[in-house]
Structure 1
Amino acid sequence: MRLTLTQFMTLDGVTQGPGGREEDPSGGFDLGGWSMPFVDEDFGRWINGWFRQADAFLLGRRTYDIFAGHWPRVTDPADPIASRLNGLPKYVVSRTLHHPEWGGTSVLNEDVLGQIAELKRQEGRELQVHGSTALARFLLAHGVVDELRLFVHPVVLGGGRRFFAEGEAPAALRLRESGTTHSGVAVLVYEPAGEPLYGEAPPPGE
């Protein structure tokens, strides 16, 4: 399976609490829900299309708890998101979760990279990561992400947990696909491209 990573983010890189004020108020964050005004038909078309490609999910503990508190209550078999999340295998990276109640959940708590490598060797289309900012950054740093999908929203918050934090290792990305939604969200699909390239601008007047 290919490992794909989907993130909702603001123009200044914040990924915390896109779905509502109470979704993730950690650190005193009170600006949650910033993605919701931009959800439209185009937005849903991108998201639903990608969820249909999933054969398993890999989640961090915080995102897993948010999803587990909502999606099991959505029982419509025609819902393209709920049907996949509720019916497909879910793997959550956590050292503190021992008895997950959401059906189909397995916990990864030792040799996480080795277990993820084993999952990627299994037959299937995509092992999908949604949100899970800390886990996503860990996966990118260790070079196991095959595709990065960013929904960049036209809003600046000035605070909150950011996706690309200070001190991240330099990395190049190659744009594979792009688009925009009617509400103004830029959809950017990248694949890792190794080390960044550098150059020098010519002196003024040359």
Structure 2
Amino acid sequence: MRNLKIIEHISLDGVIQHSADDGDFPYPDWTAPYRSPEGRDAMLAAHGDRFDLLLGRRTYDMWSDIWPKAPSNPMVDRLNAATKFVATHRPDSLEWGPAEGLGQDVIEGVRRVKSADGPDLVLSGSSTLTSPLLEHGLADEVLLLVYPVVLGTGKRFFSEGTPAQAFELADTKAMPSGIILTTYRLVGALKTA
């Protein structure tokens, strides 16, 4: 069975949005001032040498405008080589490949992909998938790159109504830029007493 790792760049107040999707987000590309060679190397290690991607349609569309045209480097090459499993109602329009739609039932599609042979799966940037995957116990790890900023507005990592859950700390590392990389593993339902 494949492991599924959620990797998100996140502000101190839980915002993961990076683009002005509908023109109303005032801080596009807010992570740029914190990029560093150490961070790049940490992201390469977190993704691994070989992985497949799990993406929502909006993220797939944004990334398909960027990565196929980007100059070759280890991360770009790995992203372009990865099979992209996409939550979409238009699987026939997936041109950045290799790509495959998850089907009508996204949760069942993810279960199918996880149970098949292949490299581990990485979900990044697809905020609408995060909560359902955690709710159904499909995510094995969560890697949060926590930036030393408060944005006050934007899409959050967890949507309202996400079930309470417990995680255990698996690893943490501080970058010279102030970013904290924290890896958690899902334990299960939250216990309160």
> TM-score higher than 0.5 here?
yes
Correspondence 1:111 to 2:105: yes
Per-residue deviation, 1:137: 1.7
Partner of 2:40: 44
- Where does structure 1 differ by over 3 angstroms across 4 or more consecutive aligned residues? none
Partner of 2:58: 62
Residue of 81, 88, 91 corresponding to 2:85: 91
Residue of 151, 159, 162 corresponding to 1:157: 151
Amino acid at match of 2:44: N
* Percentage of pairs with the same residue: 33
Per-residue deviation, 1:102: 0.9
- The alignment of Structure 1 onto Structure 2 pairs a total of residues equal to 192
CA deviation map 1:80-108 (0-9, x unaligned): 21111111211110124531111211112
* SS class of match (1:193): strand
Partner of 1:147: 141
Per-residue deviation, 1:179: 0.6
Per-residue deviation, 1:197: 2.6
C-alpha separation between the residues in 1 aligned to 2:186 and 2:4? 12
Residue of 114, 125, 141 corresponding to 1:120: 114
Partner of 2:11: 10
Consecutive unaligned residues of structure 2, counting only runs of 5 or more, are none
Change in 2 beyond 3 A, CA 1:180/1:53:
same
Amino acid at match of 1:102: W
Q: State whether residues 51 and 80 of structure 1, in contact with CA within 8 Å, keep that contact through their aligned partners in structure 2.
A: no
Amino acid at match of 1:86: N
Q: State whether residues 5 and 130 of structure 1, in contact with CA within 8 Å, keep that contact through their aligned partners in structure 2.
A: yes
Residue of 22, 25, 32 corresponding to 1:29: 25
C-alpha separation between the residues in 2 aligned to 1:194 and 1:53? 29
TM-score (norm. length: structure 2): 0.92
C-alpha separation between the residues in 2 aligned to 1:75 and 1:35? 20
